[in-house]
């Protein structure tokens, strides 16, 4: 085992130029920990928030929230994993952009043989997010309609397929006609180019004036108010990201005026904090992927040392589907 691992860190918040490679020591796992050697790491928009300081961290800090690889050693009290297991995870604390690390074991899951490492690395954070949005946030059933923004992105393409597999009608939005076509190919029932179209009016038309049962909005500032206008009375707004900036404070009375709406601002990390819940959510995701109901589409691969370029491309809205960092 190499005693150090190439790891992406930031010493201060800022743009992609703040991402640096460092050789960090990798020790032995303590109680409740494992040491894992990564085969690939996933790239997520949350990594950009942590890098920029929108989600502040104590510095210096390593970055990255999901990866897949081989467990090399397990600490005392870890019973669900053993040395030699294939594994994948979405987990805190950040530090997944690395060749190898010691980390808490609770959120690390055995990766089924039928799922390649690269897919495992690309799908844990985004896939379990889709799982909790559809199953753990508000009751949704076949025949319900949801509006999903950024439908051709990493979380988005998984959501399109997930909805299709459960008979939920998904109306997507995306920033270009090409991205809309991709969302439609992956199971969206309709997709609106929100860069050029009046998407609120179109959602109203597509629902016969009624509005949707739920909105899944990770775009944030630019779409929040319009999203509320797309909901039917008693509908659920899931504001789960800030790609365009954080949602500003708003008058709660708006929710009454627009029909007793509900709003939640969830994060995956509450849902997977419990070990059993996390393992169960991962099992549901794996079964969807193994059944072919959800395909993990990796459209961008960057070597670990090109992580700054990967962040630039993601933030410039030039990605579709999943993006991973490869390790040589």
CB of 316: closest distance to ligand NDP in angstroms? 7
Q: Which of residues 87-146 bind ligand NDP (CB under 6 A)?
A: 125-126, 129
Residue 243 is a binding residue for ligand NDP (CB under 6 A): yes
- Using CB under 6 A, which of the segments 23-31, 75-83, 109-117, 313-321 binds ligand NDP? 313-321
Of 311, 317, 327, 316, nearest to 43 (Cα)? Answer: 311
**The token pair that represents 225 in the structure block:** 């108010």
Interior/surface letters 98-119, b for 16+ CB within 10 angstroms, e for the rest: bbbbbbbbbbbbbbeeebbbbb
Classified as helix, coil or strand, 187 is coil
Residue 311 is a binding residue for ligand NDP (CB under 6 A): no
Residue 268 is a binding residue for ligand NDP (CB under 6 A): yes
State which residue has the least CB distance to ligand NDP.
153
Closest CB to ligand NDP among residues 260, 267: 267
Residue 239 is a binding residue for ligand NDP (CB under 6 A): no
- Using CB under 6 A, which of the segments 81-89, 139-147, 239-247, 289-297 binds ligand NDP? 239-247
Closest CB to ligand NDP among residues 243, 285: 243
Tell me how far apart the alpha carbons of residues 99 and 309 are, in angstroms, rounded to a whole number. Answer: 19
Find the farthest-apart pair of alpha carbons in the chain and give their distance in angstroms, rounded.
62
Residue 148 is a binding residue for ligand NDP (CB under 6 A): no
Of 114, 184, 183, nearest to 154 (Cα)? Answer: 183
- Answer for which of 40, 46, 109, 230 binds ligand NDP (CB under 6 A) is 46
14's torsion region: left (phi>0), alpha (psi -120 to 50) or beta? left
Residue 44 is a binding residue for ligand NDP (CB under 6 A): yes
Q: What are phi and psi of 51, to 5 degrees?
A: -65, -45
**The token pair that represents 256 in the structure block:** 């009454």
Tell me how far apart the alpha carbons of residues 316 and 297 are, in angstroms, rounded to a whole number. Answer: 19
Residue count at the site for ligand NDP (CB under 6 A)?
A: 30
288 within 8 A of 258, measured Cβ to Cβ = no
- Answer for which of 45, 89, 97, 162 binds ligand NDP (CB under 6 A) is 45
The owner of tokens 């939640």 is 264
Q: Which of residues 207-226 bind ligand NDP (CB under 6 A)?
A: 218-219, 222
- Using CB under 6 A, which of the segments 13-21, 38-46, 282-290, 295-303 binds ligand NDP? 38-46
Residue 147 is a binding residue for ligand NDP (CB under 6 A): no
18 alpha-carbon distance from chain centroid = 22
Closest CB to ligand NDP among residues 89, 240: 240
Label each residue of 202-215 as H, E or C. HHHHHCCCCCEEEE
Positions in the binding site for ligand NDP (CB under 6 A): 44-46, 125-126, 129, 150, 152-156, 174-175, 179, 218-219, 222, 240-244, 266-268, 314-315, 317, 319
């Amino acid at each position: 085992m190499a005693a150090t691992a190439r790891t992406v860190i930031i010493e201060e918040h800022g743009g992609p130029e703040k991402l640096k490679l460092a050789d960090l020591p990798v020790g032995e796992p303590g109680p409740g920990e494992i040491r894992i050697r990564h085969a690939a790491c996933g790239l997520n928009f949350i990594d950009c928030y942590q890098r920029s300081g929108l989600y502040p961290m104590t510095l210096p800090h390593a970055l990255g929230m999901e990866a897949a690889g081989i467990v090399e050693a397990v600490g005392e009290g870890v019973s669900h994993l053993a040395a030699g297991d294939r594994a994948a995870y979405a987990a805190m604390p950040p530090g997944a952009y690395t060749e190898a690390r010691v980390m808490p074991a609770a959120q690390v899951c055995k990766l089924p043989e039928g799922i390649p490492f690269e897919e495992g690395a690309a799908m844990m954070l985004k896939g379990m997010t889709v799982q909790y949005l559809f199953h753990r946030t508000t009751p949704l059933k076949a025949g319900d309609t949801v509006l999903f923004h950024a439908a051709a992105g990493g979380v988005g393409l998984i959501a399109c397929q997930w909805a299709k597999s459960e008979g939920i009608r998904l109306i997507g939005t995306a920033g270009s006609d090409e991205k809309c076509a991709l969302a439609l190919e992956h199971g969206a029932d309709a997709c609106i180019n929100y860069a050029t179209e009046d998407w609120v009016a179109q959602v109203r038309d597509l629902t016969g004036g009624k509005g949707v049962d739920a909105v899944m909005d990770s775009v944030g500032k630019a779409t929040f108010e319009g999203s509320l206008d797309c909901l039917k009375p008693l509908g659920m707004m899931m504001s789960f990201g800030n790609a365009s900036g954080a949602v500003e404070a708003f008058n709660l009375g708006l929710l009454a005026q627009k029909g007793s709406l509900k709003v939640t601002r969830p994060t995956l990390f509450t849902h997977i904090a419990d070990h059993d819940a996390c393992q169960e959510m991962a099992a549901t995701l794996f079964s969807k992927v193994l059944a072919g109901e959800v395909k993990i589409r990796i459209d961008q691969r960057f070597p670990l040392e090109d992580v700054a370029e990967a962040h630039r491309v993601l933030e410039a809205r030039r990605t579709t589907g999943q993006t991973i960092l490869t390790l040589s």
